[in-house]
Structure 1
Amino acid sequence: MIYVVGIGPGSKEMMTLEAIKAMEDADVIVGYKTYINLITEFIQDKEVVQNGMRQEIDRCKQAVEIAKTGKKVAVISSGDAGIYGMAGLILELTTKEEQEVSVKVIPGVTTSIGAAAILGAPIMHDFCHISLSDLLTPWEVIEKRLKLAADADFVICLYNPRSKGRSEHLARAFEIMGEFKGGNTPVGIVKDVGREKEEKFVCTFDTMDFERVDMTTMVVIGNKSTFIHDDLMITPRGYTV
């Protein structure tokens, strides 16, 4: 049995009861070492398999092999395991196994939802997730998605917005969206959602400060109806009030 567990942004308060139960039930915990450090209270004397970034395939293959021995394995993802997490990779691998391996995906609070609650109500209407990481997706595909999402007036949640190796991607994304997003469009920036160093900033499209953003940041760009009130972003659903 493999539990693919979304642990939320990292704090216990934002973990689901099902996620905690799955981790407690598992014999082995498998995950990226940074995420393992967020769940130490649930590990206790369990066997732990951990490695670094960009080693997802090796990590998931190990989890499958361990599960085939009869042990219960919890594979950890931050946020939700099915949103840029390990659920898809685990299921891809297990479908190729001759021996049946049971998989249960445990949902978690993804960063966009956590950030939205901190910002107010920015994703009350249609929204989308776009990752600015081109490690697995060609940049030209990302540019097309940004343009079409902005043209369709989606609220846009940007994952993996800016890193040392991709410091200009966010500015380029804003340049692309700027064809369709007005300068007064509200933008929310939330760093380290649900963690000790959590920070929130609300600005507009034209006053966006890219230097505030790193890989632990969620950037939420409003639609044409989104407005700012008392440092909160609000996107009307369309109710008559």
Structure 2
Amino acid sequence: MLYIVGLGPGSKDLMTQEALDVIEKTDTIVGYATYVRLVQDMLKGKELVVTGMRGEIERCKKAIEIAQTGKDVAIISSGDAGIYGMAGLVLELASKADQHIDVKVVPGVTASIGAAAALGAPLMNDFCHISLSDLMTPWDVIKDRVDAAAKADFVICLYNPRSKGRPNNLHEALAIILKYKSEDTVVGIGKDVARKKEIEKVTTIKDLDEEEINMTTIVIVGNKNTYVADGRMVTPRGYTL
């Protein structure tokens, strides 16, 4: 069996029981070095296959090869493996393999959900996820998606918002959003969610400090009804109070 396991955003407390059980019972773990470090204390005595950044295809192929030998193996991702994680790639590669293997996806808490809980209740109405990384998706396509989401007044969760290699993507995305939303629109920032240096901040588009944002940050842009109550970000569901 090949398990595709979502570890959650970084804390063992936010891992699902199923994820904990699979890691405990599986002798071979495949993962990116950073993800392996998140659960290092759970991996004593296990066979580890660790690759560096951008080794996704290599990791997935290796996990499939191990599963084809009859061993149980778990490939791990932070957050949820089906949200910008390994699930899609593993399933694509497994479908093309000569030998059938059983695959099970184990869900995890994605960054937007972990950040939303710390920030308040920003996702109570319709929302969407958009990654600002253009490594896999053309930037023009990403801009079109940001435009459509902002025009429809979704709460927008921005993944991979800003990096040294892409310092202006967040700025450009916010400029698109400001075509439809006020500069006073509430924004929540979750940085290193559920990790030792976790930071949550509630601000606005106008007051957002882009220099604080990096690749371990999730940026949640509210809709026109999102407001701040006792320092917490709230998007009304629509109940009559």
Partner letter of residue 50 of structure 1?
Answer: V
Counterpart of 1:109 in structure 2 is: 109
Does the CA-based 8 Å contact 1:7-1:79 persist in structure 2?
yes
Counterpart of 1:22 in structure 2 is: 22
**Identical amino acids, percent of aligned pairs:** 61
Query: 1:22-41 residue pairs with structure 2 within 5 A?
Result: 22-41=22-41
SS state of the match for residue 218, structure 2?
A: strand
For 1:230 and 1:185, the matched residues in 2 are separated by 17
For 2:141 and 2:48, the matched residues in 1 are separated by 37
For 1:10 and 1:103, the matched residues in 2 are separated by 24
Counterpart of 1:3 in structure 2 is: 3
For 2:101 and 2:77, the matched residues in 1 are separated by 19
1:49 paired to 2:49 = yes
How far does the alpha carbon of each residue in 1:127-163 deviate from its partner, in whole angstroms, 9 at most, with x for none? 0000000000000000000000000000000000000
C-alpha deviation, 1:98, in angstroms: 2.2
Aligned length: 241
1:158 paired to 2:150 = no
C-alpha deviation, 1:84, in angstroms: 0.3
1:175 paired to 2:179 = no
C-alpha deviation, 1:27, in angstroms: 1.8
Does the CA-based 8 Å contact 1:223-1:235 persist in structure 2?
yes
Counterpart of 2:121 in structure 1 is: 121
TM-score by length of 1: 0.99
SS state of the match for residue 130, structure 1?
A: strand
SS state of the match for residue 95, structure 1?
A: helix
Point out 4+ residue stretches in structure 1 off by more than 2 angstroms. none
Does the CA-based 8 Å contact 1:181-1:205 persist in structure 2?
no
C-alpha deviation, 1:99, in angstroms: 1.1
C-alpha deviation, 1:29, in angstroms: 0.3
For 1:230 and 1:196, the matched residues in 2 are separated by 24
For 2:45 and 2:141, the matched residues in 1 are separated by 44
Quote the RMSD (CA, aligned, Å). Answer: 0.6
For 1:183 and 1:174, the matched residues in 2 are separated by 9
For structure 2, which runs of at least 5 residues remain unmatched after alignment? none
For structure 1, which runs of at least 5 residues remain unmatched after alignment? none
